[in-house]
Structure 1
Amino acid sequence: MNDNNNQYFRAVSWQGKAIGAALRGVVKPVVNRVRFTPRFMKFSQLGFDAVTLALPVPSDVHIARAHVGGVPGEWLITGRQVRASRVVMYFHGGAYFFGSPRSHRAVTWRMSHYCRAKVLAVDYRQPPDWSYPAPLEDAVSAYRALLTQGYDPQQIVFAGDSAGGNLSLVTMIRLREMGLPLPSCAVLISPWGDLTCSGDSIRDNEDKDPLIPLQALRFVSGSYSRGEDPAAPTLSPVFADFTGLPPLIIQVGSTEVLLSDAQRIAERARAAGVTCLLQVWEKMPHVFQALSGWLPEAGQAFREIGAFVHPHLSKTDNDHHVRAHASLVMGSSSP
């Protein structure tokens, strides 16, 4: 670790080395050969959901369909320690063209567990059927609905990975512009902050990143921005003014092509007087937290998230627990 604001976590597990080698040797070469088209985008949305649903979910995770502010999604509640007044709004990743609340349950149920909060996983609109600003509009609508329902913004946490990290940031920027109260804090996992793909690590880590090929980033950036300036602050928050935003925790792998996006977000936040904790995890792949069932570093990352979130939530809800009444999802893993 370096200091209170920047922390470096060394890779210590053989599982991390094995997973990195497998991604680098098998997955990335396949993705490198893919020809990205709207048809492939549609196919990948279905395929990614099917593959990730194989990740185990423990038996005490309750999942129910959600429809908040006209936006679909799902509620997740893990265990009996959840506070009824706490909500983590989770924006899934997938480069703004694949992924869903279903595909990210390995992350969202753990967010519920470690933050002791209900999770609202938002199923925002995506390309190729929709482009910017549809996801941003959905995020704002869902958040405003939570406020209308009586949730205290100081009991709400924004969280997201990759494109979802982007959406977390730009939603807070839009809410600030609208004069609405902001959430208590935000958790950004490998955030995609620069749709112009101009960061130093885009070049320096192109061959080191075990998962993301550069041509994929450029394709999906064009697909999502679709004629808009990708350098606009509500598309690329690395160019935004962060004044007034709540505290942030950022987690990213040291060999990711998005490393410099995370670093620049932290720099912009601190320049605006925003508290920001940047954690760099040695040689961890993009959104390694999803592999918590096998990767010790991922479990540690979630513990760090919980330790960051709790002090930023109001302590007035300590006696308010919730027992879920929702569809039960069977599984056998533990946090």
Structure 2
Amino acid sequence: MSKQQQLQLDAILRQGGLDTSADVPTMRAAFGELMAQVPVAPDVQHEAVEIGGVAGVEVTLLGNKSESVILYLHGGVYVIGYAAATVPLVGELVRRTGGWAITLEYRLAPEHPYPAAVDDARAAYEGLLAKGIAPAQIALAGESAGGGLAVATLLALREAGVPLPSCAYLMSPYVDLTLSGETLAGKREVDPLLTPDGLRARVPDYVDGADASDPHISPIFGDLRELPPLLIQVGSHEILLSDALRLAGRAAICDVPVTLDVTPGVPHVFQAYAGLLDEAGLALDRGAGFLTAQLGGTGPRHELAIDLPSVTPSSGNAP
């Protein structure tokens, strides 16, 4: 990645940043306008579907032959975001893995607080199983809140005795709604997208009086034993860096196969900027490699792999 690319992206994000402390209708409208400007590659096909009673968008690429499917969960602090907005990013994963995907339209807060999102993700996954798709052919993936939702869904499935998917690919996962991570303060100045105050403003919408440390809300506090392999990718220029670092550590302690992939100098969910940032495409390549290896791969899927972060979190007090 060139320094010029990094600075250019940082400037773009700061200029067109989303104020997550605004009222919900304003925030959703601004997000919709922003995402409408992101083009979908012409060879990426997408159409509305329903799985397990939950709406979503099926994403395919002409010529793909793999039967493996990615169940994708979008970000947006559980309050904004929608399935169609993820099609450009999910399309790049589909292109690289040779499979197909469903990006889910799970219900949003404050109209539908916890546990609506978890219930929807679980219903969609069980809907895939009901269609005869084997767990080994399914991967969960998501960015930001969607990454946290993926882990919460794994916990809910495990506790219900439902066979778990092959793996989960988590981009900048938001897994601590108590907001206790040290990088919320330590990385505040370098994060062009998120602020601690913006996150605090949205937590009550989703938690709605529940305990924010409930593992189904904040999986960082959960017992992660017996979960499938995880790939966690994060940038060093984001206030949620410590969420990813602590989640990887928790997974390792619980004997979960986990790979932690930290890219220096890049922002929250940097993979979405593959057209602007060399490191974004490279990260998607690594993510697709992980997914391909786990989805029906011939090698063992439970081989422990932990990559130590290449950066040290900045010091700072938790908010």
Report SS of the residue matched to 1:144.
helix
Cα deviation for residue 290 of structure 1 reads 1.1
1:187-198 to 2 correspondence within 5 Å? 187-198=169-180
**Map of 2:314 onto structure 1:** none
- Please give the root-mean-square deviation of Cα atoms over the aligned residues, in Å: 1.5
Question: What is the rounded CA distance, in whole Å, between the counterparts of 2:2 and 2:10 in structure 1?
Answer: 13
1:101-250 to 2 correspondence within 5 Å? 101-250=83-232
**Map of 2:313 onto structure 1:** none
The alignment-based identity, stated in percent, is: 38
Amino acid of the residue matched to residue 81 of structure 1? Answer: N
Instruction: Out of 292-301 and 177-186, give the one that drifted further.
Output: 292-301
Q: Deviations over 1:231-260 (max 9, x none)?
A: 111111111111000001111110210000
Question: What is the rounded CA distance, in whole Å, between the counterparts of 2:198 and 2:70 in structure 1?
Answer: 29
**Map of 1:255 onto structure 2:** 237
Matched-pair contact (CA < 8 Å) for 1:172–1:245: yes
1:37-56 to 2 correspondence within 5 Å? 40-56=23-39
Report SS of the residue matched to 2:127.
helix
Matched-pair contact (CA < 8 Å) for 2:143–2:172: yes
Question: What is the rounded CA distance, in whole Å, between the counterparts of 1:231 and 1:139 in structure 2?
Answer: 20
2:8 is aligned, of 14, 18, 30, to 18
Question: What is the rounded CA distance, in whole Å, between the counterparts of 1:162 and 1:99 in structure 2?
Answer: 11
Question: What is the rounded CA distance, in whole Å, between the counterparts of 1:68 and 1:52 in structure 2?
Answer: 24
- CA spacing shift, 1:167–1:98, aligned 2, 3 Å: same
- CA spacing shift, 1:218–1:153, aligned 2, 3 Å: same
Matched-pair contact (CA < 8 Å) for 2:141–2:147: yes
Amino acid of the residue matched to residue 270 of structure 2? Answer: F
Cα deviation for residue 104 of structure 1 reads 1.4
2:247 pairs with 1:265: yes
| Runs of at least 5 residues in structure 2 that lack an aligned partner in the other structure | 299-319
Question: What is the rounded CA distance, in whole Å, between the counterparts of 2:271 and 2:297 in structure 1?
Answer: 27
Matched-pair contact (CA < 8 Å) for 2:21–2:201: no
Question: What is the rounded CA distance, in whole Å, between the counterparts of 1:104 and 1:46 in structure 2?
Answer: 16
Amino acid of the residue matched to residue 75 of structure 1? Answer: E
Which stretches of structure 1, 4 residues or more, deviate above 4 A after TM superposition? none
Q: Deviations over 1:175-214 (max 9, x none)?
A: 0000011110100000001000001111211222111011
Amino acid of the residue matched to residue 58 of structure 2? Answer: W
Amino acid of the residue matched to residue 168 of structure 1? Answer: A
Amino acid of the residue matched to residue 34 of structure 2? Answer: V
Cα deviation for residue 111 of structure 1 reads 1.4
Matched-pair contact (CA < 8 Å) for 1:241–1:272: yes
Question: What is the rounded CA distance, in whole Å, between the counterparts of 2:192 and 2:33 in structure 1?
Answer: 22
Matched-pair contact (CA < 8 Å) for 1:106–1:291: no
Report SS of the residue matched to 2:85.
coil
Question: Normalising by the residue count of structure 2, what TM-score does the alignment of the two structures yield?
Answer: 0.90
2:51 is aligned, of 57, 61, 68, to 68
**Map of 2:304 onto structure 1:** none
Cα deviation for residue 217 of structure 1 reads 0.6
| Runs of at least 5 residues in structure 1 that lack an aligned partner in the other structure | 1-10, 317-335
Cα deviation for residue 127 of structure 1 reads 1.3
2:271 pairs with 1:289: yes
Cα deviation for residue 51 of structure 1 reads 2.1
**Map of 2:310 onto structure 1:** none
Report SS of the residue matched to 1:103.
helix
Give the length in aligned residue pairs: 298
Cα deviation for residue 307 of structure 1 reads 1.3
Cα deviation for residue 13 of structure 1 reads 4.7
Report SS of the residue matched to 1:250.
strand
Matched-pair contact (CA < 8 Å) for 1:90–1:158: yes
Question: What is the rounded CA distance, in whole Å, between the counterparts of 2:28 and 2:205 in structure 1?
Answer: 15
Question: Normalising by the residue count of structure 1, what TM-score does the alignment of the two structures yield?
Answer: 0.86
Cα deviation for residue 109 of structure 1 reads 0.6
Question: What is the rounded CA distance, in whole Å, between the counterparts of 1:114 and 1:51 in structure 2?
Answer: 25
- CA spacing shift, 1:125–1:277, aligned 2, 3 Å: same
Matched-pair contact (CA < 8 Å) for 2:184–2:195: no
Amino acid of the residue matched to residue 201 of structure 1? Answer: T
